[in-house]
Structure formats: C-alpha cells, structure tokens
Amino acid sequence: MSSLDPKEFEVDFFREMGFRRKIGKKCREAFWTLNPDFEEPQDAPCVSYWFDEIPSRERLDVSESRRRFIEFFTKRGHEYVKPRPVVARWREDLFLTIASIVVFQPHVTSGLVPPPANPLVISQPSIRLEDIDNVGLTIGRHLTSFEMAAHHAFNYPDKRVYWKDETVRFAFEFFTKELGIPEDLIVFKESWWEGGGNAGPCFEVAVGGLELATLVFMKYEVIGGDYREIPLKIVDTGYGVERIAWFTSKTPTGFHAIYGGLVSRFRDSLGVEEPDDRVMWAAFKAAGRLDPDDEHSVNEYYKTVSKAAGLSVEKAREVLEREARLYSVLDHTRTLALMLGDGIVPSNSGEGYLARLVARRTMKQLLMLGVESGLVDLVEMQVETWKADFPQLRENRDYILDAVQLEEEKFREALRRGLRLVDSMLRRRGSSIDLVKIYDSHGIPPEIVVEQAAKRGIKLHVPRNFYSMVASLHSGAPLRAEKAEEPQRDGWARRLKPTRPLFHEDPYMRRFSSKVLDCRGNLLVLEATAFYPTGGGQIHDTGRIVSGGRVYRVVDVYSLDNGVIIHVLDRNYEGSPGETIEGLIDWERRYRIMRHHTATHALLGALRRVLGSHVWQAGAEKTEGKGRLDITHHRPITREQIHAIERLVNKVIDERRPVRAMIKPKNEAEEIHGFTIYQGGVPLKPEIRIVEIEGWDTEACYGTHVSNTGEIGSFRIIGVERIQDGVVRLEYVAGGRVAEEARNLEEKLATVSSMIGSDPRSVENRLESLLKEFRETSEALKKYRDFWLKSLEERIASIEPVEGARILVIEPLEKDPRTVRAVMRKLTSTYPDLVIIAIYMGVPTSIEVAVGDSVAASLATASLVSGRLASLLGGKGGGGRTFASLKVQGPVDPKRVEEIVRDVMKR
C-alpha cells in the first residue's frame, strides 16, 4: 500500500510495557522500542550488525532452535503440524514453497477448507531463489533454503483465536524468556506484507541489527491492485530458524552457525584458504550496512573491511569474493539436496528448471574456485549432515546423488558445446548477444560467454543479479486456462444446479433415466447423468439419448466449474425442459477406458517402486485405444526396467486388489495419504474424491474405474520415449487391447519376414545374415571411398593454381550427397586454396560448390561462385561463405563450369 495507517500498529501490549513509537532518523521507518537511546530500527541496513555484543544464554544450532520454538508454542496451546515438501505440489501457481503460509494458500486462506489445527505451529523448509546472487556476499542474511518457524491463527467471524496483541506478546516472551534477550533491545518495526494474493500490516522484529521474525496480520485479498478486507483474519508469522542459531552462536557468519564443522570440510575439499579472523569480523561489522544490489554499497563494503583488517582493497575483495563463493556452494548444495529429496527432477521447465539453475550456479561457483568437479561429494556431505532433520534426504539418497551426477555430466557437455556455439554467436551478433537467452536455451553460464567475448575484443557485462533475475522469470507456474473462459454459449447453464454424477455412484451403469433441466440447440443439461465428461486426463463418454421416439448421438460431454455437465448432441434437441429421457452409454468403449484408467494408477505405483519416489505424473490421457502417462524422470528407462514395470503391473492385476473410490476432507486426505495424491492436479474443493488401489496406489481422481485390478485383464507397454528433458512418455494397452496389439505385431513381423525372404520363425537368422552382408558391403564401400579420396588428392596435387586458387570439377559416382559433401569439406579443410565443384547430371542438374578458407577470405566466397554459375547457366541457388549449391535445367558441360569459375577467380 502507498501508506501505512499508524492505528494498525497500536496494541495494548505496547502501552502496558511502555513501548514508544519512533521514526528512524536515517531510515525514516516507524518502530516501537523500550530503549530511549535507539534512533533507528535495529535491522540491516539501517544499522550495522552488533548482536555479537549481546550475551546469549546458550548456543543453539539449527535443530535446537527449531525444537525450542516448536516446544514454546505447543506449551501455549498450539498444535504441531508437520512441514510440507519444498516443492509446492498443492499449488498450481507456485513451484516452490517460499514461506509457511504457502502451505495454507489458497484452500485455507480463502475459507474453503478449515486449517489442519487452529492455532498451529510449524517449521517449514522453504526455498527462495530471487536473491540467489546475494548468498554468501551478505555472510548469512540471504539464503536460498531456510526454515520458517511459524505459528498461525485463523480468526473466523464467529470464532476468534487471537490477533495482533497476543501475537506480539508471544514474540516478546519467546525472545526474552526462551532466548534470554534483554527486553530493551527488542524492536518492532512497522511494515507491510504481500504474497500469494493476500496482504496485511506486519511487524519486523529485530535485535542488534539482525531481523529475527516477521509478524503478519493478513486481513486483505489483493485483486487487480485493489485491497479488499476478508472475513478471515490470519496471523501469519515467520521466525528465522537459521537466524536464531546465528544470533545465539555469535559466529562471524551465518554459515558457521548453520553448517558448523561442514564449513571446514567444504573448505578443505575445495582448497579454499581460511582467512584471518580479523577479516571475517570486519566483514561481520560491515555486512549489516551492505546493500548487495547497489554497486557503490558493495565497493564501500570492501573498503571498510580492508581498512579494519589492514588489507588493500583489492586483497579484501579477493578474500571476501572467495569466501562468498564458498558460502554460496554450502548454501546451494543443501538447497539442491532438499529439492531433489522432495522429488524434483532437473529439467528445462517448471520446478525442474529451478533445480537445474541451482545446480548450474553451484558448478559455476566451483569453476570460479578452480574446481572442475566434485559436486556429488559435496551434496553427499549435505545429505549426511541433514538426514536426521529431513528424513527424505536419507530415503531418497540414491536418487539425489544419481541426479546430481547426471547434472554434472550435462553441465560439462553444455560447456563443451557452448564454447563453439558462443563463438559462432559472437561472430554473428557481437555485443548484442543476449546472456539470459543463451543461458535459458543452452545452459551456458554468462561468465563463460563474457570470457569468450573478451578473446574477440568484445566487452560484455554480467549483471550482478543475473541468476536472481533468471529465477524470478521462472518462479511462478503458468496458470491453467480458467474455466471462466468457457464459451459464452455456456452462460445459460451457469444458473442451473449441479448435475448428479451417476458415473460416480455406479461406474458400471449402462443406461439411465433423467429429466431435462435445459437445452440450447444441440447442448443438453440433465438432472443426472451417467455420461462421463472429459476431465482428469480421461476422454468423455459417447452413446445415445432417446426422447419422444427420437434418438440422438452424444458426441461430446464436458463440465463447467459449477458442476453442471453439458451433453453435446449430433443435432439440435427437439424436446423441452422437464421431460424424461433415457441415456445409453457406449459400454464397450467406456469399459475399455475404465480399464486403461485403472491401469494408469497401477502403472504409476509400479513406476515409483522401480524408478524411485521422485517419479511424478506430468500428464496423462486415457482413451479406449490406449493409455498415455508422462512422468518426471532423469534418465532413459532401460529395457530391463520396462520389463520389471510390466511384471509388477501384471502381478497387481493377478492379485485382484480392490479399487475403491471415497470422498474425504482435504486435510484428512493429506494427513493420511500425503501429497502424492495430487498426481493429476489439485482440486480446489473442501472434500476430495480419492481412488485407492488397495496397498498399491492412492490418488485424488475424478475418473471412472473398475472395481478390482483383476478386471484390467492384462497390461503391456507399447512405447517409451523422452518427450523433453526430464520427462518420459509411456504408452500402454490393457485388457483386450493387449491381444489386439499382439496381433498387430504378428502381422508386422509377417510383413517384414516376407520382405526379407524369410518365414517369421527364421527371421532372426535371416536378419543376422543380411546384417553380415551389409557390414561386408559397408567395409568395401569405405575402401572405395578412401581410394576415391586419395585419387582426388592426387589430382589436386597436379592442378595449376589460378590467382592462388586450385579448381577441381568432379562428377561423383557416389550417389549419397552427404558423403560427397563430407569429402568436399575435408578437402577444403586440408587445402585452403581449393575450389571444388561437384556436378550431379540430371533433370535438373545439381551443382555444389565448396571453397577453402583462404579462397573465401581473399578471392571469392562459395555463394559468389554459385551466383556467377547460376547467372551464366540459367539456374537458381544460394549458400554461404564456404559452401553453396544451385540447380540448372538440363545437363551442363564440366569444362564450361571450370571456365566460369576460373573467370570468377581472375576478377
């Protein structure tokens, strides 16, 4: 908001304790304090860090800081809620969990779903990448992964829990009684918070220059820039667990408090010399004032440290930049472990893109430290260090390390390819090159581009916030197309009551009767229907509707967001609202779809068991012909894994496991089954329809299913392909479609057998014989091509140069143009003064021209030669600097071609 109302920050507790409201003399920000000497709110960058001078009752590490916080609030009536994953599976607008309130948005904050407890306490691992470039430089103020310890209260119009006064009292008591901080050193700064579509006034609680907590009073929703007060008033707090550890530990950096002995282990592993204590404590004192986004402030920071530590400015910068890289590697490797531990698969989109960004910035920092590999070892240290705090690291250790190993390999490959690619781009575009686009498209760090540009005398600059900028561009998920964008023709149906879904009540229902609620042209809405509407990856039903002796084909079915189901008929409906119709489902088609849908759930359960729990559904389609499932996975699926997956699915089919659908409250479903239920998306409803294959797979699902796995019949994977980096597509068939697919394969085998002169039973032997002949022919052909190349080189040696260029005209017997072009390029590479013209006689006649570098630089490019030939021989063509082609009608005289080229060289 443009201005803050001071009345928002007046609480009884301040009056009782004698707090005074002040305005900072420099920062001009309002704050509340008991200390008459404070002239500024006590947080960076308004003041320097001085919390090292405040005695601590005891030193707390991260685990103990978390425990103390949770214990404090559970003793005061708050129920503990387990933390959620760092990948926000329950949100469709965010990829990562950036704060504890994200856990409750939008379901709870909108009032749609009650909170899991009220009030509650949680310590939520969170990831924010928007300040990733500042990590390390500010010695602990910025982190990409951190724990937000929080207590929340949800105040409804008819049920008040607590609000501002009690929240401030809790904070004051925690910091004074639990941590032993003197009362007059605690400052509450007035501020404003916005996020996830909500907003409200807040207090930032700071001590000795370090902000330790934020107390948000969420009372508005933000719609199109307007602030609308909401009936649900939410206490949303955030206490920095890592900052509490830093405050009590009194270490020169937050990283020493967070990681303890791991700092020294990383330092030894990376060969980073430990700086003098004077340097780091000087940095501690100066870092509070540092604005990392201001280049002048950064330069002043280095000057201040150099003066305090008795170093040159250059030496201070060198030492602190090296330390910042070390600390960022510490931070990023933990963040990467947490992301992978919660099942993110690195890729070029979504949350996978963000995981890859963290990995590649880490590897870039390692390169800057002179270390070319070893990321796997560093991440393994983080897994071992944090596995007790975050059990998912221990459970998914193998996947985490394997994914990191693969990312290292891909990064090295990107660098290898990138050097050539960047060189080519610089040659074409010069300083207009787009660093963000190159990183996004090819994964090449900007520093590499700048280094290559400098070799060409081109000056480029990497923005200091480059990775933060890229992360911001990719932090939000693209929202799905809103149902509000449904065609205007459906507006009439929105006033109708929801359609009763008979397909849920009895998925085996083949015919039914129902009253017509309304109709428009060929669109029909019934009171109840057994026709399934397209949704959840399952295609709609088809069938017939009979009314008054007239029969209509149902060609499409879809639903609106208000639960109304619309049937699309093959022609205009001639009946009227209120009459009764009979519906008949195309049962054979529906039953095939049901089999494929249940097979999809069985398959997903098998995939997670064979490939790992990181597997997540990225898309699905269930039709009568086949099923399709796209999953996140980092490596190609092997033949052995495919067989293992098929065996598991068919075993589940043979076991005839019950398949049950049930409606559960959202909180209960999440508590019992976890967030893997959201494979197909997140329904914004207080209750969720759960489909469970007993002991195998449980998902939120709207579709129709068979009643036990035995009805699937059989299962076969018919196709596996990688459709994008980190996403694999599987296609499969179930039931009678397996036999149909087998027959199709038999027919193809018979066709192939006939083509190679064999019967199906002997096809392997025949193919082996043919392949042997092919290899022998290929070897003979290679010898012929080597002989041809040698004969061409002998001809070149005898050619008399024309103006420093040797001209060779050939009519290749070789019919493969790619082979001829490879020979031409090899010859022009070996002989830079060569012009070689290949003529393929025919209608039309094709001519290809290749020139060596020295010819292209001093006499004529290939496109110039090609253009001259085209103008004199009556053809059309084009090309580039060293290679071109043209076509002319009818045959040409090779001698005439050579004369034209000689003339071009003489010009």
What 857-866 contacts at long range (C-beta under 8 Å, 24+ apart), as own/partner pairs, is: 858/804, 859/803, 859/804, 859/805, 859/904, 859/905, 860/835, 860/904, 860/905, 860/907, 864/904, 865/835, 865/837, 865/901, 865/904
Q: What is the mean pLDDT of residues 864-879?
A: 83
Q: What kind and span of H or E run contains 147?
A: strand 145-155
Lowest mean pLDDT among 238-252, 475-489, 565-579, 806-820: 475-489
CB 288 within 8 A of CB 44: yes
Q: What is the pLDDT of residue 660?
A: 97
DSSP, res 570: S
User: Given this model, what pLDDT does residue 477 score?
Assistant: 63
* pLDDT at residue 901, rounded to an integer: 86
Per-residue pLDDT at 631:
95
Of the listed ranges 132-146, 528-542, 625-639, 863-877, the one predicted with least confidence: 863-877
Task: Kindly tell me the burial class for residue 507, based on how many C-beta atoms sit within 10 Å of its own C-beta (0-12, 13-18, 19 or more).
Answer: buried
Q: Residue 401 belongs to what H/E stretch?
A: helix 397-429
Whether the predicted pLDDT of 482 surpasses 80? no
Q: With cut-offs at 50, 70 and 90, classify the pLDDT of residue 478.
A: low
- What does pLDDT average to over the chain? 91
For 265-290, letters b (16+ CB in 10 Å) and e give ebeeebebeebeeebbbbbbbbbbbb
Joined together, the tokens standing for residue 547 give 């009314």
Residue 452 is predicted with a pLDDT of 78
Q: List, for residues 21-56, the tens digit of each pLDDT value.
A: 999 999 899 999 999 999 999 998 889 999 999 999
Question: What SS3 class is residue 554?
Answer: strand
pLDDT score of 540? 97
Query: What whole-number distance in Å separates Cα of residue 859 and Cα of residue 296?
Result: 53
pLDDT value of residue 485: 43
Label residue 457 by pLDDT band (50, 70, 90). confident
The per-residue pLDDT for 1 is 53
Judged against a pLDDT cut of 70, whether residue 720 lies above it is answered with yes
Give the pLDDT band (50/70/90) at residue 453.
confident
| Among 217-231, 246-260, 300-314, 646-660, the least confident range | 217-231
pLDDT of residue 577: 94
CA distance 194 to 73: 25
Residues found in the chain: 907
**Average pLDDT for 792-807:** 91
Please name the residue that has the structure tokens 């001093």.
858
Tell me the two tokens of residue 750. Answer: 């018979």
Q: In what order do the strands lie in the sheet with 727-734?
A: 617-622, 627-632, 727-734, 715-724
> Could you tell me what percent of the chain has a pLDDT over 70?
97
Among 260, 466, 258, which Cα is nearest to 364's?
Answer: 466
pLDDT score for 489? 61
> Coil, strand or helix: which one is 611?
coil
In a 3-state reduction of DSSP, which class is residue 234?
A: strand
The SS3 assignment for 342 reads coil
The string of pLDDT tens digits covering residues 191-204 is 999 877 889 999 99
Q: How high is the pLDDT of residue 40?
A: 93
**Does residue 92 contact residue 135 with C-beta atoms inside 8 Å?**
no
- Mean pLDDT for 394-399 is 96
pLDDT score, position 479: 47
| Strand ranges across the sheet with 20-23 | 20-23, 30-33, 187-195, 198-207, 210-223, 226-240, 145-155, 120-127, 79-80
Q: Which of 163-167, 614-618, 675-679 has the highest mean pLDDT?
A: 163-167
pLDDT score for 312: 95
Where does the pLDDT of residue 843 fall: very low under 50, low under 70, confident under 90, or very high at 90 and above?
confident
Residue 487, pLDDT above cutoff 60: no
What are the contacts of 784-789 at 24+ separation with CB within 8 A?
785/814, 785/819, 785/823, 788/813, 788/814, 788/823, 789/823, 789/826, 789/827
Tens-place pLDDT, residues 231-272: 999 999 999 999 999 999 999 999 999 999 999 999 999 999
The larger pLDDT score, comparing residue 880 to residue 622, is at: 622
